[in-house]
Structure 1
Amino acid sequence: MRRITRVLLAAALLLLLAPAAPAFAHSRLVASDPADGAAVRAPLSAVALTFSDGVKQQFSTVVVTGPDGASYVDGAAHVADRTLTQPLRPLPNGAVRVAWRTVSADGHPIEGQFSFNVSGSAVTATSSAPAAVTTDPGAVPWTVVVVAAIVIVLALGAAILGRRRHISGARRRA
């Protein structure tokens, strides 16, 4: 029985050390407009964040900070389909930081940030094409959760079997 327990624990350990796949249950940021690190010359009236799945309107916030440290949001962010859009006031030239937080359709909070550079006067237009940006670094890969559950079940099973053997051995001696 000990040999089986050791083999099962070794297999669980190997699964824990195996490369983890990304979590597919939660929404993740797949693109932004403008993209992370982009050089923006056209005026912007909004930033748009596109997610792999829907996000909840009521828990979504986007903060857009200009090079002067001031906020350039103009009203509330809104969600349409898988895209979270934040209207903007005209942006000054320089580095702009976008920090966002929302809740995926399954209730998991996600957040991130990116930046871009403005090098033209900003009035009212939208930028060009969306591009991939960072994904949610806080998401736990589903394989880690499954393997952890397996390890816990195996450890509990081994403890219960050991306890039963100890009790039955004590009864035989008595």
Structure 2
Amino acid sequence: MRTRIVLALSGVVVVLLGTPTPAWAHNSLRAATPAQNATLTTAPTQITLDFQQRIDPAFTTIVVTDASSRRIAATDPVVTGATGTARLTETLPNGSYLVAYRVVSADGHPVQGSYPFTVADPTAPQVAPPTPAPAAAAAPDDRRWTWLAVAAGTLATLAGLVVVTLIGRRRRARPAR
């Protein structure tokens, strides 16, 4: 009987730890145009963000701000698969800009981040150097929560197996009436 329990528990652990799910690999930004920390000689007309997995169009936000945190006018993002694009509706003068984004992946996990770029068009009028944009806070590492969920699920499964085994033993130990 103990051998069966050990084999059953081992099987459950192998299945829980060996089964990949979408939450194991959260989405992340693969590429961006303009690129992070890029210095452009021509102002961009759109922002394009390419993620590793599909993103939900209903929950995709792309915002561009200048060095004084003023929001740059842009269209709502258009999403195709894993790519989101927002068209800028005003011309960017020389200066520093911050692209901030928030998307929801196919697995339901929100992903957010930001990065800077600079416009330095030599033919544009020169402006006073802007105050650098504040650095964005790093997103917390969600992997610890994934492992906590896996551990809790494993413990719940093991507890369930123990309860089922104990109930089975009690039923066999009772005399028939």
Q: TM-score range with shorter-chain normalisation? A: 0.5 to 0.7
Is 1:154 the equivalent of 2:158?
Answer: yes
1:89-104 paired onto structure 2 within 5 Å:
89=90, 90=92, 92-94=94-96, 96-104=97-105
Is 1:64 the equivalent of 2:64?
Answer: yes
1:2-17 paired onto structure 2 within 5 Å:
2=2, 5=5, 8=9, 12=13
- Kept after mapping to 1: 8 A contact 2:64/2:71: yes
Partner of 2:35: 35
Percent of matched pairs sharing the same residue: 23
Partner of 2:47: 47
Partner of 1:76: 76
The residue identity in structure 2 corresponding to 1:152 is A
The residue identity in structure 2 corresponding to 1:165 is R
Alpha-carbon deviation of 1:37? Answer: 3.2
Alpha-carbon deviation of 1:70? Answer: 0.9
Partner of 1:114: 114
- Write the distance in 1 (CA, Å) between the matches of 2:75 and 2:167: 63
- Kept after mapping to 2: 8 A contact 1:103/1:110: yes
- Give the match's secondary structure for 2:44: coil
Shift in CA distance, 109/150, structure 1 to aligned 2, threshold 3 Å? closer
Alpha-carbon deviation of 1:154? Answer: 3.0
- Write the distance in 2 (CA, Å) between the matches of 1:69 and 1:29: 23
RCO higher in structure (CA 8 A, sep ≥6): 1
Partner of 1:129: none
Cα RMSD (Å):
4.5
Alpha-carbon deviation of 1:39? Answer: 3.4
Alpha-carbon deviation of 1:138? Answer: 4.6
The residue identity in structure 2 corresponding to 1:43 is A
For normalisation by structure 1, the TM-score amounts to 0.62
Q: Which runs of 5 or more residues in structure 2 are unaligned? A: 125-137
State the number of aligned residues: 157
Query: CA-to-partner distance for each residue in 1:92-119, whole Å, 9 max, x for gaps?
Result: 512x322212233x36243221212314
Query: CA-to-partner distance for each residue in 1:38-82, whole Å, 9 max, x for gaps?
Result: 334431111110122332323221122221011113221112343
Moved more, 69-78 or 23-32: 23-32
- Write the distance in 1 (CA, Å) between the matches of 2:21 and 2:83: 24
- Kept after mapping to 1: 8 A contact 2:40/2:121: no
The residue identity in structure 2 corresponding to 1:164 is G
The residue identity in structure 2 corresponding to 1:54 is R
Q: Which runs of 5 or more residues in structure 1 are unaligned? A: 124-133
- Kept after mapping to 2: 8 A contact 1:93/1:121: no
